[in-house]
């Protein structure tokens, strides 16, 4: 297992500027297709896709909460879709106990 995950996302498709971040890995990345998150209108399931890559989740060190779930994809970031909306994000950091589906 690599000690770090580098998230490098190009700007475009709703992502205003490039992102390059590094996270210390606690658990190995695994595929993810859905995550339960609050979209501002209550907690609901969101589809998680990574255009041109596989969306993955890994437990990482987070300076503010100790550990968090990092959801990440390829150079184009993630597309997250609920029943009400769709958005592009470079990555997501969720609480450690968040519900995910492979």
**Res 92 pLDDT > 90:** yes
Higher pLDDT, 40 or 19: 19
Concatenating the DSSP letter of every residue in 1-30 gives --SEEEEEE-SBTTB-S-EEEEEEBSS--E
Q: How far apart are alpha carbons 3 and 27 in whole angstroms?
A: 9
End-to-end, the C-alpha distance of the chain in Å comes to 19
pLDDT of 37: 92
Q: How far apart are alpha carbons 70 and 17 in whole angstroms?
A: 19
Instruction: Tell me the pLDDT band of 8, cut-offs 50, 70 and 90.
Output: very high
Which tens digit of pLDDT belongs to each residue from 43-76? 899 999 999 999 999 999 987 768 999 999 999 9
For 41-64, give one letter per residue: b (16+ CB within 10 A) or e.
Answer: eeeeebebbbeeeebbbbbbebee
């Amino acid at each position: 297992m690599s000690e770090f995950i580098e998230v490098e996302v190009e700007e475009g498709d709703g992502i205003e500027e490039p992102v390059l971040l590094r996270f210390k890995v606690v658990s190995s990345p695994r595929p993810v297709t859905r995550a339960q998150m609050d979209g501002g209108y209550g907690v609901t399931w969101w589809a998680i896709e990574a255009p041109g890559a596989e969306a993955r989740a890994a437990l990482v060190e987070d300076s503010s909460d100790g550990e968090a779930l990092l959801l990440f994809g390829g150079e184009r970031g993630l597309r997250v879709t609920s029943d009400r909306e769709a958005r592009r994000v470079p990555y997501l950091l969720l609480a450690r106990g968040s519900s995910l589906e492979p």
